[in-house]
Structure 1
Amino acid sequence: MVKTILITGATDGIGKHLAKKLTSEGHHVILHGRNPQKLELALREVRAVSLRGRVSSYLADFSKLDEVYRFAEEIKRDFQRIGVLFNNAGLYAGKERKVSAENVELTFMLSVLVPYILTTELSPLLEKSADGRVINTSSYMHHFAKVKDLDFGFEKEYNPGLAYNNSKLYTIWMTRYLARDFFLKGSNITINAYHPGLISTNLGNSSSDEKTKKSLFGRLMKSLSKDLDQGIETGYYLTLSEEVRGLTGYYFDEKKVKSVSEKGYSFEKAQKLMDYCQEKVKMFQEKQDF
């Protein structure tokens, strides 16, 4: 069955490589990117391998909530349904804490808040598919999160590693919470998180310093990196496989359900995470109304 698949962060790395594979098999792929030149290049590359030429592209800077909502509205305007929302866009921030206009730390924003908004905003389109799926990109690094308190904005303590690891844990919390929410509402939408593996991509290249890249740790990480064909395997599996049809609220690695870190997890804490996201959304909406 041909699916309409929306992939965020699709201008390089896993996103673009996955888009190429899916469109080469005849699926309609919607590309998202924040850089117009890179998005245009990705669009040409993906169309070049497309079986039917069904590729669309949309520009939006997800560090700005007004652009996130504009993007969602454009998708709702142009599509009656989508089969898969693949939340791939991410960020490994630099040494300095950077925030959006709503004072949301940007690593958290790209990993948690934006996927939350897109999932809720686009759920009516996913509902119209018999097998609507949401795939959230987490990481094995969530096991190294430190959740002493629920400082979702990293205002009390910030470093890029902490922000990344914790945000990937919060991605799993959000996934589990929304899976429960969809189930209780009788929705057919499934939502799962996955670890793509250690991939050599451009994630964080704009902010990582040269000292880190050339360090022993940096060289080791690069040597352990998967290639992109390996890196997209689990994401591709979650996008199309009948084996995962109906499964929801899980964390996958190497195409298998894996255990997740239970560090500090409870439904009440996941609810506080959702409350934080909703608070930021409300703050944004009130500014728009004003």
Structure 2
Amino acid sequence: MPENSVVLVTGAAEGLGYHTVRQLAVGSTIVIAHARSGDEAAQTRERLLGSGVDERRLHLAVADFTELRQVADMANAIAAACPRIDVLVNNAGTAGAGGRTVTADGHEQVFQVNYLAPYLLTRLLEDALAASPVSRVVNVSSSLHRGGRINWNDLNFKRRYHRGAAYAQSKLALTMFTTALTERCPKVREAVSVHPGILATGMLAHYSFRGRPVTDGAEVVARLADPGTRVFNGGYYDGRLPAKASSTAVDPDAVERLWRISEKLTFPEKRRARVENELRTGV
């Protein structure tokens, strides 16, 4: 790991994110660990310090991804305190509840937490990423993205909710976001998505009854998050190896369509400003 690299890991309070932070927080690496609340952040800090992480290399960030305002506030606070981010690991996610849940922002919860929130966070940290010679985003996706589809006419599953379909859609969207970053966001130099394996975490119910140790998946993610590791830009990884993403994940028209929708859902004021400018200038 290059000296004084700065890595932000979301969803670091437990499971894959927690163990990824443990593996990254070695040497001179500075890790920003995200948690959902102040209490959760304090508990995470104590656990990490108790496991041997150097407190001088550990910073905390707090936001509940079910509220996009909190995501924006966290991004702004991080950018102000740390103007350079070398690697952003979008790991935070939810398996979803038994029934459909809607956030205060009006979105189906799985779609917001697993996709819209990391989309917004990444976009707001573009300048901090651009300040790094590495500028890498690692999106923790899932092999289940291959069976997913974007429900264009009902992203929030208002008509018929299915927990597995909602989860697969969110991970497909995140994988499409990886493609979009390489094509539409020059401030991000490298972006990859990864299925870390079938692990013994809260996501296990979507895959199987038995999973591998979470530390195995954390090793995979930490390796991709190491600025010293060369990656296939825009690629999808199944474990340590590059693999083929779904056709939708790399379809230019679908990726473009999702980008525009995502911008509209997370930056409504930017959308209004663009429309007003187009009306005023005729462009």
Instruction: Give yes or no for contact 2:111–2:166 (8 Å, CA) kept in 1.
Output: yes
- Give the 5 Å matches for 1:212-231: 221-223=208-210, 225-231=211-217
Which residue number in structure 2 is paired with residue 207 of structure 1? none
The superposition leaves residues 210-269 of structure 1 with CA deviations (integer Å, 9 ceiling, x where unpaired) of: xxx7xxxx8x8232x110221112211111164425x32111112111001214863222
User: Could you tell me which of 230, 238, 247 is aligned with 1:262?
Assistant: 247
> Are the counterparts in 2 of residues 102 and 284 from structure 1 also a CA contact under 8 Å?
no
Deviations 1:73-102 (A, max 9, x none): 110111121111111100111122112233
| 281 and 149 in structure 1: CA distance in 2 versus 1, 3 angstrom threshold | closer
Equivalents in 1 of 2:254, 2:159: separation in Å? 18
- Judge conservation of contact 2:35–2:41 (CA < 8 Å) in 1: yes
Q: How does 1:153-168 map to 2 (within 5 A)?
A: 153-168=156-171
Q: 1:98 aligns with which of 98, 101, 104?
A: 101
Q: 1:14 to 1:114 in 2, by over 3 A?
A: same
- State the secondary structure of the residue aligned to 1:244: coil
Following superposition of structure 1 onto structure 2, how do residues 272-287 of structure 1 map, counting pairs within 5 Å? 272-283=257-268
Identity of aligned residues (%): 26
In structure 2, which of residues 164, 169, 172 is the aligned counterpart of residue 169 of structure 1? 172
What is the letter of the counterpart of residue 195 of structure 1? Answer: H
Corresponding residue for residue 17 of structure 1 = 19
Query: Which aligned pairs between 1:33-182 and structure 2 lie closer than 5 A?
Result: 33-48=35-50, 49-51=52-54, 53-147=56-150, 149-182=152-185
With 79-88 and 254-263 compared, the bigger mean Cα shift is at: 254-263
Letter of the 1:121 partner, please give it: L
Q: Alpha-carbon deviation of 1:42?
A: 1.2
Distance 1:263 1:133 in 2: 22
Asked if 1:235 corresponds to 2:239, the answer is: no
3-state secondary structure, aligned to 2:267:
helix
Q: 1:18, 1:84 → 2: CA distance? A: 13
Contact 2:10–2:33, Cα closer than 8 Å, also in 1 = yes
Distance 1:141 1:180 in 2: 24
Provide the aligned C-alpha RMSD in A: 2.4
Q: Secondary structure at the match of 1:53?
A: helix
Q: Cα distance, 1:7 vs. partner? A: 0.6
Aligned residues: 269
TM-aligned CA deviation for residue 179 of structure 1: 1.1
1:271 aligns with 2:273: no
Distance 1:235 1:228 in 2: 11
Give, as a single letter, the amino acid of the residue that structure 1 aligns with 2:215. D
Superposition TM-score, scaled by structure 2 size: 0.87
Other-structure match for 1:208: none
Give the unaligned 5+ runs of structure 2: 273-283
Distance 1:37 1:156, change over 3 A: same
For residues 265 and 173 of structure 1, the distance between their equivalents in structure 2, rounded to whole angstroms, comes to 6
- Structure 2: distance between partners of 1:233 and 1:20: 10
| Contact kept? 2:150, 2:172, Cα under 8 Å | no
Question: What amino acid sits opposite 2:263 in the alignment?
Answer: Q
Aligned partner of 2:281 in structure 1 is: none
1:191 maps to a residue whose letter is A
Distance across 1 between alignment mates of 2:246 and 2:25: 35
3-state SS of 1:238 partner: helix
Q: Which runs of 5+ in 1 are unaligned?
A: 205-212
Native 8 Å contact 1:135 1:191 kept in 2:
yes
Q: Indicate the SS of the match to 1:222.
A: coil
On the 8 A contact 2:23/2:219 being kept in 1, the answer is: no
Cα 1:265–1:256 shift into 2, 3 Å: closer
Q: Which of 101-110 and 78-87 deviates more?
A: 101-110
| Displacement after TM superposition at 1:41 (Å) | 1.6
The 1:253–1:241 alpha-carbon spacing in structure 2 relative to 1, beyond 3 Å, is farther
Counterpart-to-counterpart distance in 2, 1:264 and 1:52: 39
